[in-house]
Structure formats: structure tokens, C-alpha cells
Amino acid sequence: MTPILFYGVPEGCSFGSIVALEWTGAPYRLCRIEMPSVVSSDVYRPVNPIGETPSLMLPDGRVMSESMAILNHIAARTVNKGWGFDPKSEKFDRLNQMLAFLNTGFFNAFGPLWHTVEHELEPQAKQALRAYGIAKVEKAHAHLEKLLAGRDWLLGDEKSLADAYFVGIARWNDFHQVVDRQQFPSLNALYERLQQDPAVRFAWAIEHQEEVQTTGQFLGHVSLEEALGSLKQAA
């Protein structure tokens, strides 16, 4: 069986996993999960018991979750193509550290802002949460800007899966209208460079259900029902 990535729409952080699958070139299929309706439904629970995307169903029917684990899994299988690194190497440590920051510091900075749009709140509570979120997003942008200084990509001269994950989170700044990205010139340049990347365009077209052109080995969508069939067979 070909791996299946369960990706969430709209605006899912699974965007980075789609870009990673395209870049690394392994065959895969996609299963579209609407948020919050399907992701939090009983039907999806066998895939992800805590109602989140992304999840990745492996060829043997096992399912793994958590972006960091999925990205590391993809990287580990493409060491020969330069996407993954020897676990004892400096590059391995740097990729892991960068992914960890993106998955905690950067991702979580937007948490309070998502809360304000996903929940009914008193105006004062909303204002306080938004202010908290803005401060966190500014701080995370400043940290990334510092890390990027003089580099084209998050790890240096070469594009890595950290850049794939970064672009899926960084766009939340536009959704929530937080910082002026141009105030962070290196980060802004990276973001703009990634907008031209065919895999990033592909992931965007997938999310928006537009015509897609894979530069990897995307083999098409499967329905959740079909994917669940493979899960049960493997169980």
C-alpha cells in the first residue's frame, strides 16, 4: 500500500508534510480532512484519537501522528537524496532542533490567535488573548530572523524539511494579520522564495481544490472510508 497523508483544511499545519512528500519524491496519496467537522468526528478517531491532522498511514497500515515525527520519518527514508541525515551528524541535530522550535515556539505562538477565531469570547478576553498571541508571534519571528541572518534557508545553504514545515506555519501570519513580515527581511525573503516553489504551489492548490501538477509522486486522493478500510485490514 502507498502511504496516505491525512491533511487538514483549511490552513492545516499538514501543509508542510505535503511539501515534504513532494520534495522527497516518494509515492504517496492524500486524504482530505475538513476541520473542525471531520477531524473531530468519531469516524476519524481511529486515525487520530485526539482529532488532529496530519497523520500518516504507512504501507503496513500503521498510522503515525505529529508533524515532527512524520517529517523525521520522511527524512529518514530519503537520506540518500540528502533530505535526511545520519543520526550522529551535526546536520541531523540541526534539523531536529529547527523542527522542534518550529513545532513548539513558532506553531504555539499562533495558538492564542486561533483560539480567538475558533471560540466565542468576551471582548476583553479576546483582546487579551490577541495581545498575548501578537507578542508571541513577534518574538518567534525575531528569533527566526536572527537564526536566518546571512542564510538562504533555515539550515544554511540548502533547502531542508524545516523550510517545508516553516512555510505552512508562517502563512498563518497573513490569516491573523499579526506582524509586517517585511520587518524581518531574511524571514520575508525565505517566505517569498518558498512561494515560488512548485511543491508549495502544489500544496496550496491541493488545499484549494485547484488543478495540481505534482513534481513528486502524488498518486491521487483517497476517501476517508477507503483509507479506514486499509487501516482495518492491517489491524
Ligand X SMILES: N[C@@H](CCC(=O)N[C@@H](CS)C(=O)NCC(=O)O)C(=O)O
If one asks whether residue 3 binds ligand X (CB under 6 A), the answer comes out as no
Q: Does 72 bind ligand X (CB under 6 A)?
A: no
Binder of ligand X out of 1, 27, 36, 220 (CB under 6 A): 36
For ligand X, the closer CB: 34 or 152: 34
> Nine-digit cell at 152?
538562504
Which of 114/132 has CB closer to ligand X?
A: 114
Exposure class string for 202-229: b at 16+ Cβ within 10 A, else e: bbbebbeeeebebebebeeebebeebbe
Does position 103 bind ligand X by CB under 6 A? yes
Instruction: Choose between 51 and 105: whose C-beta lies nearer to ligand X.
Output: 51
Phi, psi of 197 (to 5 degrees): -75, 130
CA distance 40 to 35: 7
Whole-angstrom CA distances from 76 to 20, 44, 161 are: 12, 27, 11
Q: Can residue 53 be called a binding residue for ligand X (CB under 6 A)?
A: yes
Q: Does 98 bind ligand X (CB under 6 A)?
A: no
Does 35 bind ligand X (CB under 6 A)? Our answer is yes
Binding residues for ligand X, rule: CB under 6 A, are: 8, 12-13, 35-36, 39-40, 51-54, 66-67, 103
